[in-house]
Amino acid sequence: MVVALARSGNLGARRLLTEAGYTLGLALANLVNVFNPQMIVIGGGVASAGNHLLTPARQTLRQWAQPLAAKQVCIVCSRLGVRAGILGLAKLCFDRYTQ
């Protein structure tokens, strides 16, 4: 609902997603500083917010992560979107019970 409101221009919803993006960016910066990944894939309901959430997250990551690591990491949305979790669970169950 918040994402739909933000897309329709609601300033309060946009501000909420910007703040959430900042917090997400701090968490991602910590992950980047520890693990130095090449790519971070955002999935599930978070991915549905798209750039309303990811733009401030990327900006915050670049501000707080180690410069070289921040420059090299790519943050993308999963193509599976909100289906990512359930498909991962299905794969896990399939692998476990078909052996």
- Domain of residue 75: give its range: 2-97
What is the predicted pLDDT for the residue at 99?
Answer: 75
Burial of residue 12 (CB within 10 Å: 0-12, 13-18, 19+) is exposed
What is the predicted pLDDT for the residue at 12?
Answer: 97
* Rg, the chain, Cα only: 16
CATH of the domain at 90: 3.30.420.40
* Structural domains counted in the chain: 1
What is the predicted pLDDT for the residue at 83?
Answer: 85
**How far is Cα 63 from Cα 11, in angstroms, rounded to an integer?**
24
Note down pLDDT in tens along the chain; length 99 residues: 999 999 999 999 999 999 999 999 999 999 999 999 999 999 888 888 999 999 999 999 999 999 999 999 999 988 887 788 888 899 999 999 987
Q: Which residue's structure tokens are 């979107």?
A: 81
8 backbone φψ class: left, alpha, beta (φ>0; ψ -120 to 50): alpha
What is the predicted pLDDT for the residue at 78?
Answer: 86
What is the predicted pLDDT for the residue at 86?
Answer: 87
CB 48 within 8 A of CB 80: no
pTM over 0.85: no
